[in-house]
């Protein structure tokens, strides 16, 4: 069986495609999504690396899986519930790092010993090394009403038992720095199709989250 690709000449959105067929080599060109472009180099000079690498255990994973199974699909989740396990691992790690308590409140996830309300935003990654500073954090547009003192951002690896606490920003500071991405936009710099309307801020623009060590226990 032989397979041929077809080159489609670019035309306006309302016109049907035309075909220029060469049976030796034929390529398909589809209409492009809206692209969001930014220069990495022009912004990197202002970046600060506040990333902290942490590890999680098999017990942490099992605890997260049990919680996610009981929870079901998370309302207003960009991943439509698929990221619940990863999200819970992020909360466990931030709670451990800050010596805080997981609260499972709509407005925030963790209450620290000094009374700060932390909302943890976690993404998964297949990387085994820390993310680059121009990679982005996301807050869903419909979650902007949450009443937290700080957003804390985490990346969890699906390949190794490593995660990275990327930093924090107050909701006010986040809104001032963020750019809006619409569902269906293609972010060319990060090679990503946006799943839902969200506000993004680069990792390198975050402030450092300070650790609070437990007595006789390391993080």
Domain co-membership, 16 together with 78: no
214 is a domain residue: no
% of residues, the chain, pLDDT over 70: 71
Confidence of residue 73 (pLDDT cuts 50, 70, 90): low
| One domain for residues 184 and 153 | yes
45 within domain boundaries: yes
200: which strand partners? 138, 179
The pLDDT value recorded for residue 76 is 42
> Which of 96, 99, 91 is closest to 151 using CA atoms?
91
Model-wide pTM > 0.85: no
How many domains is the chain built from?
Answer: 2
In a domain, 81, yes or no: yes
Higher-pLDDT residue of 68 and 57 is 57
pLDDT at 137: 95
Please indicate, yes or no, whether residues 25 and 50 belong to a single structural domain of this protein.
no
Q: Which residue has the higher pLDDT, 31 or 34?
A: 34
Question: Taking 70 as the threshold, does the pLDDT of residue 43 lie above it?
Answer: no
- What proportions of the chain, in percent to the nearest 5, are helix, strand and coil? 20, 25, 50
CA atoms within 13 A on the CB side of 28: 5
User: What pLDDT is stored for residue 2 in this prediction?
Assistant: 39
Mean pLDDT of the chain: 80
With respect to residue 143, please indicate whether it lies within any of the assigned structural domains. yes
Is the pLDDT score of 3 beyond 80? no
Say whether both 13 and 99 belong to one domain: no
pLDDT score at 14 = 52
Q: Given a cut of 50, is residue 30 above it in pLDDT?
A: no
Domain boundaries, position 10: 1-31
Residue listed under structure tokens 């010596």: 99
């Amino acid at each position: 069986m032989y397979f041929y690709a077809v080159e489609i000449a670019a035309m306006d959105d309302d016109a049907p495609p035309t075909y220029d067929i060469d049976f030796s080599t034929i390529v398909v060109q589809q209409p492009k999504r809206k692209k969001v472009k930014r220069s990495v180099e022009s912004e990197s000079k202002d970046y600060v690396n506040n990333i902290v690498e942490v590890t999680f255990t098999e017990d942490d994973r099992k605890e997260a899986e049990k919680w996610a199974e009981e929870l079901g699909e998370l309302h207003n989740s960009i991943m439509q519930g698929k990221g619940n396990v990863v999200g819970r691992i992020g909360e466990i790690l931030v709670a451990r790092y800050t010596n805080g308590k997981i609260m499972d409140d709509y407005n925030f996830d963790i209450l620290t010993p000094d009374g700060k309300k932390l909302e943890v935003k976690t993404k998964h990654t297949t990387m085994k090394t820390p993310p680059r500073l121009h990679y982005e954090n996301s807050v869903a547009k419909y979650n902007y009403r949450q009443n937290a003192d700080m957003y804390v951002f985490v990346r969890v690896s699906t390949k190794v038992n490593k995660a990275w606490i990327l930093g924090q920003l107050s909701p006010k500071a986040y809104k001032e720095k963020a750019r809006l991405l619409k569902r269906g936009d293609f972010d060319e710099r990060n090679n990503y199709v946006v799943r839902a309307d969200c506000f993004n801020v680069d990792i390198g623009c975050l402030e450092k989250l300070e650790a609070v060590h437990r007595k006789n226990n390391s993080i």
